[in-house]
């Protein structure tokens, strides 16, 4: 399994990275986990956006889904797609309100929002509780703790497991997500501090404690906010768990 980081900046795009987005490949199957601000540009370096097998959205904050608007433009209006776009809608596994919310993102005006329909481009599916098969992958969506409905994804190909937290605060479910994973791709929005808001994000220390207690084999830290000191996040994570590293946009990691 290959993991390519399309963007790893938390909350907003940063000077060195788009927001959240991850291309995951195994065999001939390509899926994308989240498609935040700026990630569509990076995706085009590594894969044809027309040939994805599915897009999975952990939640509908802009730093995780804003480039769906740009992808809609590409899939509708590209002059020479590899097939007729209406012949192959992209499966999008997302929170239940995704069709309406993403239509509002794309709509040219508030007056036309109700008439905007993305079903010619996407096949929307509500995030399931049961695992789903997508080509070479089995994907299980697990609800996380955040300020809106949010899921983490446990992606299995053969005997390898990638666990992606999306956005979450500390909770029992994130440990379930990470259980015995080969790679835990975990948000670590900031260095630990006593006044951190409850149920919002993980610190580097909390991500590392989750990896250690869940028996994960490797920790990749992502979603650092641009104003966060990365060295501090990494140091506190490594004090609890090894191997741990900060991901970088445009880099590929083997699971």
For the segment 120-149, the average pLDDT, to the nearest whole number, is 95
Q: Give pLDDT tens digits for 178-190.
A: 999 999 999 999 9
CB 150 within 8 A of CB 58: yes
The first and second tokens of residue 235, run together, are 């140091």
Given pLDDT bands bounded at 50, 70 and 90, which one contains residue 243?
A: very high
The reported pLDDT for the residue numbered 216 is: 98
Given pLDDT bands bounded at 50, 70 and 90, which one contains residue 54?
A: very high
The reported pLDDT for the residue numbered 113 is: 65
Q: Give pLDDT tens digits for 66-119.
A: 999 999 999 988 888 876 655 679 999 999 999 999 999 988 776 676 668 899
- Do strands 160-164 and 183-187 pair parallel, antiparallel, or not at all (unpaired)? parallel
User: How far is residue 152's CA from residue 132's CA, in Å, rounded to a whole number?
Assistant: 14
The reported pLDDT for the residue numbered 85 is: 53
Instruction: Give the CA distances from residue 71 to residues 42, 127, 215, in Å, rounded to whole numbers and listed in that order.
Output: 12, 20, 37
Given pLDDT bands bounded at 50, 70 and 90, which one contains residue 60?
A: very high
Instruction: Give the CA distances from residue 200 to residues 27, 58, 148, 189, 196, in Å, rounded to whole numbers and listed in that order.
Output: 35, 14, 10, 9, 8
CB 217 within 8 A of CB 238: no
* 3-state SS assignment for residue 214: helix
CB 24 within 8 A of CB 11: no
Q: Give pLDDT tens digits for 180-228.
A: 999 999 999 999 998 888 889 999 999 999 999 999 999 999 999 999 9
- List CB contacts of 48: < 8 A, sequence separation 6 or more: 82
Alpha helices in 26-117 (DSSP H): 39-46, 62-65, 68-77, 98-106
Domains along the chain with CATH numbers: 2-254 (3.60.15.10)
The reported pLDDT for the residue numbered 109 is: 76
The reported pLDDT for the residue numbered 86 is: 54
Q: Which of 121, 126, 166 is nearest to 21 (CA)?
A: 166
User: How far is residue 99's CA from residue 68's CA, in Å, rounded to a whole number?
Assistant: 11
CB 74 within 8 A of CB 49: yes
């Amino acid at each position: 399994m290959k993991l390519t980081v399309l963007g790893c900046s938390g909350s907003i795009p940063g000077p060195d990275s788009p927001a959240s987005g991850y291309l995951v490949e195994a065999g001939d199957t390509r899926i994308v986990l989240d498609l935040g601000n700026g990630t569509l540009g990076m995706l085009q370096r590594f894969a044809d956006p027309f040939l994805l097998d599915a897009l999975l959205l952990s939640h509908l904050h802009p730093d995780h889904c804003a480039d769906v608007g740009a992808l809609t433009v590409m899939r509708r209006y590209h002059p020479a797609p590899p097939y007729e776009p209406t012949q192959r809608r992209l499966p999008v596994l997302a929170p239940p309100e995704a069709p309406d919310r993403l239509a509002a993102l794309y709509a040219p005006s508030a007056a036309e929002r109700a008439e905007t329909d993305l079903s010619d481009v996407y096949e929307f599916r509500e995030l399931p509780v049961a695992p789903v098969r997508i080509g070479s992958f089995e994907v299980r969506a697990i609800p996380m703790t955040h300020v809106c409905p949010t899921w983490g994804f446990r992606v299995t190909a053969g005997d390898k497991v990638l666990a992606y937290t999306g956005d979450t605060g500390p909770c029992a479910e994130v440990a379930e997500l990470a259980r015995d994973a080969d790679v835990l791709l975990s948000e670590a929005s900031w260095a630990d501090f006593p006044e951190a808001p409850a149920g919002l994000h993980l610190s580097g220390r909390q991500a590392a404690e989750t990896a250690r207690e869940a028996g994960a084999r490797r920790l990749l830290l992502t979603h650092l906010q641009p104003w966060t000191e990365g060295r501090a996040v990494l140091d506190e994570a490594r004090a609890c768990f090894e191997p741990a590293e900060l991901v970088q946009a445009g880099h590929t990691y083997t699971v």
